[in-house]
Amino acid sequence: MAVAYITGVCLQQNRLEWTVLRRGKEAWEIADQGSAPLTEFAGGAGEVTGAVLKPHMRRWKGRIAAALPTERALLRVALLPSTDAAELRGMAELQADKFSPFPVETMAASAEVLDASETSSLVAMAVVRQDEVESVGRLFQEAGSLPDVVDVAALGWWWVLKTGGRVPTHGSQVFLRVSPGGLDMVAARDGAPLLFRALPPPPAEVDESAARGEWTGECAEEVTDSLTALETEWGGTGPMTLHVFQAASLPAAWAEELKQALGFEAFFTHPLDELPAVSEGVARRQAEPARGLAMDLAPVAWREADATRQNRRRLLKAVTIFLTVWLLGLGVFWTLLVLQRGRLARLQDQVAAMEGPAKEIRRLRAKVLDFAQYADRTYSALECLRMFSAALPPGADLISFVYRKGSTITLRGEADTPDKVYAFIQALEQLALFPEVKSEGISTRNTPQGSRSQFGVTIRLPATGEGEA
């Protein structure tokens, strides 16, 4: 069954952000959207408890997708030689084992197809420590329920950029999303993302020039290292264009300082509030048609637990509905029974009062029927003989006529040809006055005048009242 609501939730360093989508007639509409301060999300949600989320979770509806901060996940993009979802899933698992710094038993991994050709697929792979995902699960469970999907914020932001027409189809681009909660980077070529990365978040004293300068240097170094790795893996990128989407609360001069540190010639700055919220991108990703390979870091045990919980809810709902319907049915049945008993008693009284007149009516009716049968000459011997004589074709004669009142009539006759016998029998059947017209066969007799076809017919007369309309 299709869901009516989808909620995207982003857990940032110091903020909680959400968007609730409602299925409309033609498209998904925003039903609710908001954000709230959040204590630092660190060490597996160290200081964050379900009590922080619970007041806000009451507003969340339908399918819930929780997005981890980009810095909590390790993302890699690869071009894989397949378009089959099962094959891509296996290839992604092998790739994840190679680039992940986490032991397999402590790692959660997933993948998603970003783009595809006839023979290959561009796939985003994500690995994260399993305890990071488990901590999110505990956080949501304390607040009320487990999320249905665990996504990564960087993919939600890429959806916002792509669908918002911010990504050119040609050339190499670097997109930075700068907010007090973090700094995310996406590098793209010809409209396809090739690198996702989290950069150092703004310092608390970002307005101080010394602290801002140190942060700018760190960011420039991280961007340079990322682009070097990108060129090594994907080849020369050509001239790069830098796009910075910056929150209004951050110093405007920082973007220019970063440009100078990087040495980019093509450079654009944009207010961050020009773009939809990342949580909206996370939610709308879940509203897209079903994909064979989509990002979901949630453990299988969550889905099993959710399925069990849903089955229990369905069972409880079914039992409740059954009991309600049963009780209502019992009440209706008892009410109808009482009403029917009262009606039956009244009818019995009416029957008793009408018994005498009814007997008299039945007696008179019997007399009328007897008289009608006596007066009705439809099936009298003379009337039947008249009808049979009228039905005889030229060249056919009746030899005998045996009439048994209320039972049968037996005819014997002959004709100069069998066709006239058949015509006679057919004419009798078409009279539609007799329940049955049965031929007893045709025989041939030779005479001096030629051969004659002899026949016999038995006609059943209607019983008393049988022919009455």
Distances (CA, A) of 382 to 37, 336, 435, 437: 111, 60, 19, 18
Residue 344: Cβ within 10 Å count: 10
Judge if 18 and 49 occupy the same domain.
yes
Judge if 259 and 207 occupy the same domain.
yes
Judge if 182 and 142 occupy the same domain.
no
| Contacts (Cβ under 8 Å, ≥6 apart) of 386 | none
Residue 45: per-residue pLDDT: 41
DSSP 69: P
Residue of 188, 197, 201, 216 whose CA lies nearest to 247: 201
Judge if 90 and 132 occupy the same domain.
yes
User: What sign does the dihedral 212-217-222-223 (CA atoms) show?
Assistant: positive
Judge if 245 and 203 occupy the same domain.
yes
| Contacts (Cβ under 8 Å, ≥6 apart) of 163 | 281, 284
Report the CATH number at residue 250.
Answer: 3.30.420.40
Judge if 16 and 144 occupy the same domain.
yes
| Contacts (Cβ under 8 Å, ≥6 apart) of 123 | 77, 78, 79, 80, 88, 91, 92, 111, 112, 113, 114, 293
Q: Does 263 fall in a domain? A: yes
Residue that has been written with the tokens 């409880």 in this structure: 316
Q: Does 310 fall in a domain? A: no
Interior angle at CA 291, CA 189 and CA 192, nearest 5:
0
10 φ, ψ (degrees, to nearest 5): -110, 125
Q: Helix (H, G, I), strand (E, B), or coil: what is residue 371?
A: helix
Judge if 447 and 398 occupy the same domain.
yes
Q: Does 349 fall in a domain? A: yes
Q: In what order do the strands lie in the sheet with 396-403?
A: 396-403, 408-415, 450-460, 436-447
Number of domains making up the chain: 4
Distance CA 244, CA 356 (A): 104
Using a cut of 0.75, tell me whether the model's pTM lies above it: no
Domain boundary among 356, 375, 394: 375
Report the CATH number at residue 450.
Answer: 3.30.1360.100
Residue 94: per-residue pLDDT: 93
DSSP 120: -
Judge if 395 and 447 occupy the same domain.
yes
Contact assessment for residue 245 and residue 271, using Cβ atoms and an 8 Å cutoff = yes
Contact assessment for residue 159 and residue 294, using Cβ atoms and an 8 Å cutoff = no
152 φ, ψ (degrees, to nearest 5): -120, 135
Distance CA 151, CA 126 (A): 9
Residue that has been written with the tokens 């009298």 in this structure: 380
Residue 43: per-residue pLDDT: 43
Token readout for 381 is 């011997």
Distance CA 401, CA 397 (A): 11
Is 458 exposed, middle or buried, given 0-12, 13-18 or 19+ CB atoms closer than 10 A? Answer: middle
Q: Does 303 fall in a domain? A: no
DSSP 235: -
Q: Helix (H, G, I), strand (E, B), or coil: what is residue 401?
A: strand
Over the chain (469 residues), what is each successive 10-residue block's mean pLDDT?
89 87 94 83 54 88 95 95 94 92 92 94 96 91 91 96 94 93 92 95 86 92 94 85 92 89 89 94 92 90 68 80 89 89 87 81 76 67 86 89 89 90 88 86 84 90 58
Judge if 27 and 51 occupy the same domain.
yes
| Helical H segments across 376-393, by residue range | 381-391
Report the CATH number at residue 109.
Answer: 3.30.420.380
Q: Does 250 fall in a domain? A: yes
| Contacts (Cβ under 8 Å, ≥6 apart) of 443 | 453, 454, 455
**Half-sphere exposure of residue 414, counting CA atoms within 13 Å on the CB side?**
12
Q: Residue 36: give the domain boundaries.
A: 1-164+276-298
Judge if 148 and 29 occupy the same domain.
yes
Q: Does 466 fall in a domain? A: no
Distance CA 212, CA 214 (A): 5
Judge if 265 and 288 occupy the same domain.
no
Q: Does 225 fall in a domain? A: yes
Q: Does 314 fall in a domain? A: no
Judge if 214 and 251 occupy the same domain.
yes
